[in-house]
Amino acid sequence: MSERRRARVSAFTKASALAIAAFISLPLVYLFVRAAEAGSDAWRLHLLTWRTVELLRSTAGIAIAVLALSILISVPYAWLVSRTDLPLRRFWAVMGALPLAFPSYIAAFTTVSILGPRGALATAIGRPLPEIAYGWSGALLALGLFSYPYLYLLLVATMKGLDPALEEAARSLGKSPGEVFIRVVLPQLRAPLTAGGLMIVLYTMSDFGAVSIVRYDTFTTAIYDAYRGLFDRTVAALLATVLALLTLVVLFIEWRLMRGIYHGASRTARRARKAVLGPWRVPALLFVGSVAAVTVVVPLVSIAGWSMHGAGSQSNPVEIANSLAVSAAAAIVCVLFSLPVALWSVRGRSAVAVAVERLTFAGYALPGIVVALALVVAATRLARPLYQTAALLVGAYVIRFLPEATAATRSALSSLSPLYEEAARSLGSTRFDVLRRVTIPLIRPGLLAGGGLVFLTAMKELPATLILRPTGFETLATRIWSETSVSAWSGAARPSLLLLVASIVPLWALVIRPVIGKNS
Amino acid sequence: MIRNTLLFLAVVSLAACGAPESTTTATSDTAPTTSTAPAGDQSVTLYSGRNEKLIAPLLQQFTQKTGIKVEARYGETAEMAATLLEEGARTPAGVFLSQDAAALGAVTKAGLAKPLPEDVTSRIEARFVGPDRKWAGVSGRARTVVYNPKKIKPEQLPQSLEDTGNRRYRGRWGVAPLNASFQSQMAVYHALNGPEALDRLLKSMVDNQPRRYPRNGAIVDAVASGEIDWGLVNHYYAWEAKKDRKDLPVENFFMPKGDASSLVNVAGVALLSDDPDAVELLRFLVSDEAQRYFAEKTFEYPLVSTVQPVTALQPLDQLRTPDIDFARVSEVLPETLSRINASGLSRN
């Protein structure tokens, strides 16, 4: 437990973290300004209504349900691929992460096209289905089945490093494997469960693509409706302010849950013995097989199916290059930014440090349009030359997705003992040298994983891209958008498939390999 | 508890620290404008809420003809309008091409639109030009009932919006509650008849068990396949569908009652800068050439008298369009949307 002591954090680190937090809070400042412009009448008229209560209920409801479904899938899935003798473990491990490559609007459209009242399943069985593809159940499927990998990846990383001694001790005291899992393994998973759970909850709160297609009202759809109908930004800002406050509550809960968690500096010399599944092999394979079928194979087949009937325009290689370039830039900047923020909060452990780290979540739960409009205001007034440039677009991605990198960096740092850094310091290295030669190499897998997550999320980002991109700048996501807004989904098939292919390589190289390892 | 309180204080004070600098800048809407491109630089920036596939070929024609390059940004109409409102006078845009009049009304209301030149507005029928010539329609889309002539005769179709609640249609008709044109139609109804009448209409629709579709195109497909007898759509969807399959059993019916039931929505333009190139683009959009393009490519109504719509469209001057100010429609639209939401029409 000596890991929990504080270490000194340089003024430079603190200053950078503060500057980053100030940048990330631009949308909050924008919201407060817009909300403050509204008189108290507007507050009463637009917020003190049953609709707000209903939206709070529906937003919290879907977030909790998506989290629950994600836990139900990811905990057994992660355990099976990292701690058992499941056949084809590596293959299943990769399949478990692939749903991350699907944009949520594609996930939702797949849900609707298969489970819709006149969808593929209804056609196959020859009668209409009840409307499970829409509303709450549709949103749960489209978001839960496709965002569980955030949690799964963190769980796999943790499970692989767990000290087997505790489990063996419990077994030797006569506990059954099930009891060992619940009473010994699960408590050690609190850190990844809360960190991954936070990402899933906030991601769900900010999502527009899926909920709009399955017609489930949340704060995000209400904010879009306000922009769409009203062109009066005040109401949208008021609603978004409530969403930001809700985020604060979620962050607070997560912070409470994280307190007192032992971030095991578990560098065990030996690997845990794989649990032998024996006759349980069949249900285990059925479980991972059906998860992979539903979350990877079915959407792939349905996308391929769209491309069959529909010409669709050929994709331009420039679009692919644009997507890759801005997403990679966002990933690099996010990883760089995550360092001072995570260093301060993990090593410094002060209230201010934690508050700064929490503040970097500001953009994560807000809908993309709010972040984009905040940057429209900021850039046209403060940084005119940057307006409608790729640099500003990257800035928007950083505001939206920095927490994905911070979470990964934070969890990598918290399992790295500060003793290594102290030793290097005592041997005369400068702080910067220690960071460059000791800390970064040791947490490299975490940094790569965080960068990979940002990259993947940025590849599929649409709302901020549409508003902030340079004139004439097409990405795969904007191409999917422009195809789907004229015709049916057939024209979107090719760019969607390209988006997946372009995402799979970095998903493999940056996220899956560092987390799962070469010979898992 | 003390630590928790401290955390909250820290977060709040940090947010507050960030505020002052940006507050001043974000509210200084009165700063001098620098947006307008230098006059006659042979290029103009267009914010288009209409799709690239439709607009890009037209812009090419314009560039070929005039030598003026068009920097076109494509996006959703509403989001472009929101962006324009945030940019204010600093917008790089010279022209805003909007999918609907409500967004034009909002941009006008914010004081961003400049009066259109007389020679542009005089080409367009007066009822499709905004107050003070701040915007003008360039193409029209009529709200119609699309029906399957094999399943139902025109005289059996609803004669007005109120008529959609007639019990004999129960479960046999379609609507796209999330479609912007349907929502505008409801907003016009709202503006003309008041909120209570709108609620009554919505309730009678919901009670009559419509089938809900994500978009107009899906309604036309469902009518063609016989899944429903008729649905509320824009007039050109049936034409689109028949482009490839002439024998498709779908026809348009124009409800005779007038007012919101025979609404003609317009896609239109607003002028945002003094750049003569921008004005040139507007002139082109109301030229016979561009108007013919809209008529032939999208089956929309041209809005100039010198170009005729494609055959078999009910002539525009026979449609009893409601006499209404679109700025008023954009004012009631948010309330309309929340009433549509509350009615349950958009939910299943």
Note the pLDDT tens digit of each residue in B179-195. 888 988 999 999 999 99
Task: Provide the pLDDT for residue B313.
Answer: 67
Q: How many CA atoms lie within 13 A of A413 on its CB side?
A: 27
Which pLDDT score, from 0 to 100, does residue A139 have? 93
CB B118 within 8 Å of CB B132: no
pLDDT, average across residues A443-459: 90
Per-residue confidence band for B222, with pLDDT thresholds at 50, 70 and 90: confident
Across the interface, whether the CB atoms of A381 and B90 are under 8 A apart is answered yes
Q: Where in chain B is the domain with CATH 3.40.190.10?
A: 43-140+265-313, 141-263+330-343
Q: State how beta strands B301-302 and B173-175 pair.
A: unpaired
Do B334 and A252 lie within an 8 Å CB cutoff? no
Report pLDDT for A1. 38
Give, for B45, the enclosing helix (H) or strand (E).
strand B43-48
The pLDDT value given to residue B26: 36
Which residue is it, tokens 């849950």?
Answer: A257
Cross-chain Cβ contact A231/B341 below 8 Å? no
> How many CB atoms lie under 10 A from the CB of residue A248?
18
Mode of pairing for the β-strands spanning B95-98 and B264-271: antiparallel
At residue A320, does pLDDT exceed 80? Answer: yes
Q: What is the pLDDT of residue A260?
A: 65
Q: Does domain B43-140+265-313 fall into CATH 1.10.10.10?
A: no
**Nearest-CB residue to B103 (from A112, A231, A381):** A231
Taking CB atoms and an 8 Å limit, are A463 and B79 in contact across chains? yes
Q: To the nearest whole percent, how much of chain A has pLDDT over 90?
A: 39
Nearest to A146 by CA among A286, A295, A304: A295
Of A33, A213, A388, the CB nearest to B27: A33
Q: How many helices (H) and strands (E) does chain B have?
A: 12, 10
The region of weakest confidence among A15-19, A47-51, A84-88, A207-211 is A47-51
pLDDT class of A342 with cuts at 50, 70, 90: very high
- Range scoring the smallest mean pLDDT among A169-183, B153-167, B291-305: A169-183
pLDDT of the residue at A123: 79
Report residue B264's pLDDT band, with 50, 70 and 90 as the boundaries.
confident
Q: Determine, for residues A467 and B79 on separate chains, whether the beta-carbon distance falls below 8 Å.
A: yes
pLDDT tens column, A187-234: 888 888 888 899 999 999 999 888 888 878 899 988 887 777 655 678
Asked if residues A61 and A257 have their Cβ atoms less than 8 Å apart, the reply is: no
Cβ-based neighbours of A467, under 8 Å, separated by 6 or more = A369, A372, A373, A376, B75, B79, B83
Say which DSSP state B129 is in.
B
Mean pLDDT calculated for residue range A56-83: 94
Q: Are B14 and A25 in contact (CB < 8 Å)? A: yes
Query: In terms of pLDDT, which residue wins out, A262 or A451?
Result: A451
What spatial distance separates the first Cα and last Cα of chain B, rounded to whole Å? 45
Residue A158 has pLDDT above 60, yes or no: yes
Here the CATH number for the domain that contains residue A484 is 1.10.3720.10
**Taking CA atoms, what residue in A is nearest to B31?**
A381
Residue B123, token pair as written in the block: 């080409």
Is the confidence at residue A2, as pLDDT, over 80?
A: no
Region A51-68: what's the mean pLDDT? 93
* Nearest residue on chain A to B18, alpha-carbon basis: A22
Among candidates B71, B92, B348 on the partner chain, residue whose Cβ is nearest the Cβ of A134: B348
B67 vs A54, residue with greater confidence: B67
Give the residue numbers spanning the domain of A395: 2-516
Q: Average pLDDT for residues B172-179, to the nearest whole number?
A: 89
Instruction: Tell me how many domains chain A contains.
Output: 1
Percent of chain B with pLDDT over 70: 86
Question: Which residue has tokens 């560098």?
Answer: A267
Q: Which residues of A touch B25 (CB under 8 A)?
A: 378, 381-382
Query: A9-43 pLDDT, tens per residue?
Result: 888 999 999 999 999 999 999 998 888 887 777 77
Query: CB–CB of B83 and A359 under 8 A?
Result: no
B334/A232 Cβ within 8 A: yes
Which residues partner with B145 through β-bridges?
B232, B253
Q: Contact B334/A230, CB-based, under 8 Å?
A: yes
Interaxial angle between packed helices B2-27 and A11-24, expressed in degrees from 0 to 180 and rounded to the nearest 10 = 60
CB contacts, 8 Å: A139 with chain B: none
A378 interaction partners in chain B (CB closer than 8 Å): 22, 25-26
Q: What is the mean pLDDT of residues B231-238?
A: 91
Written as six digits, the tokens of A482 are 């422009």
Comparing A57 with A164, which gets the higher pLDDT? A57
Q: Which residues contact B46 (CB under 8 A, 6 or more apart)?
A: B59, B70, B71, B72, B73, B93, B94, B95, B96, B97, B281
CA distance B268 to A42: 31
**Of A214, A212, A206, A213, residue with least CA distance to A225:** A212
Displacement of CA A450 from its chain's centroid (Å)? 10
Decide the pairing of beta strands B69-74 and B136-147. Answer: unpaired
The CATH T-level fold of domain B141-263+330-343 is D-Maltodextrin-Binding Protein; domain 2 (3.40.190)
Of A28, A228, A373, the CB nearest to B15: A28
Give yes or no for a contact between A145 and A295, defined as CB atoms under 8 angstroms apart: yes
Rounded to the nearest angstrom, the minimum Cα separation between B231 and chain A is 17
Question: Given this model, what pLDDT does residue A183 score?
Answer: 85
pLDDT of A180 over the 70 cut: yes
Q: What is the pLDDT of residue B17?
A: 40
Residue in chain B closest to A359 (alpha carbons) equals B11
Residue B348 pLDDT exceeds 70 = no
Contact B75 A51 (CB under 8 A): no
Question: What pLDDT does residue A306 have?
Answer: 73
User: Among all residues of chain B, which has the CA nearest to that of A216?
Assistant: B347
Rounded CA-CA distance A168/A226 in Å is 57
Residue A456 has a pLDDT of 92
Q: Do A25 and B4 touch (CB under 8 A)?
A: no
Q: What is the 3-state secondary structure (H, E, C) of A432-445?
A: HHHHHHHHHHHCHH
How does strand B173-175 pair with strand B211-212?
A: parallel
Name the band, by pLDDT with cuts 50, 70 and 90, for residue B246: confident
Q: What is the pLDDT of residues B45-77, one digit of tens each?
A: 999 999 888 899 999 999 999 999 999 999 988
Contact A491, A483 (CB under 8 A): yes
Query: B219: which strand partners?
Result: none
pLDDT digits (tens, 9 = 90+) for A106-153: 888 888 888 876 677 877 888 777 778 878 899 999 999 999 999 998
Q: Is the pLDDT of residue B35 over 70?
A: no
Task: Count Cα neighbours of B93 within 13 Å in the Cβ-side half-sphere.
Answer: 29
Minimal-distance CA residue of chain B relative to A378? B26
pLDDT attached to residue A309: 59
Evaluate whether A303 touches A367 at the Cβ level (below 8 Å): no
ipTM of model: 0.87
Q: Which of B15, B31, B106 sits opposite A25 (nearest CB)?
A: B15
Chain B residues within 8 A of A233 when measuring between CB atoms: 82, 85-86
In Å, the largest CA–CA distance within chain B is 77
Is the pLDDT confidence value at B328 over 80?
Answer: no
Do the Cβ atoms of A217 and B178 come within 8 Å? no
State the angle between helix axes of A50-83 and A135-161 in degrees (0 to 180), rounded to the nearest 10: 40
Residue in chain B closest to A50 (alpha carbons) equals B342
Q: pLDDT per residue over A223-275, tens digit each?
A: 887 777 655 678 888 889 999 999 999 998 888 887 766 555 455 556 667 77
Number of C-beta neighbours around residue A364 at 10 A:
25
Verify whether the Cβ–Cβ distance B348 to A131 is below 8 Å: yes
pLDDT value, residue B190: 94
| Set of chain A residues whose Cβ sits within 8 Å of the Cβ of B6 | 351
With contact defined as beta carbons under 8 Å apart, do A330 and A401 qualify? yes
At residue B24, the pLDDT reads 34
The 3-state DSSP class for residue B194 equals coil
Question: For residue B22, what pLDDT band results from cuts at 50, 70 and 90?
Answer: very low
What is the Cα–Cα distance from A188 to A191, expressed in whole angstroms? 7
More confident residue, A520 or B348: B348
* Residue B109 confidence (pLDDT): 86
- Burial of residue A428, with CB atoms counted within 10 A of its CB: 0-12 exposed, 13-18 middle, 19 or more buried: exposed
Cβ contact B334–A225 (<8 Å): yes
Span B135-145, pLDDT tens digits: 999 999 899 99
Q: Is the pLDDT of residue B228 over 50?
A: yes
Amino acid B342 reads A
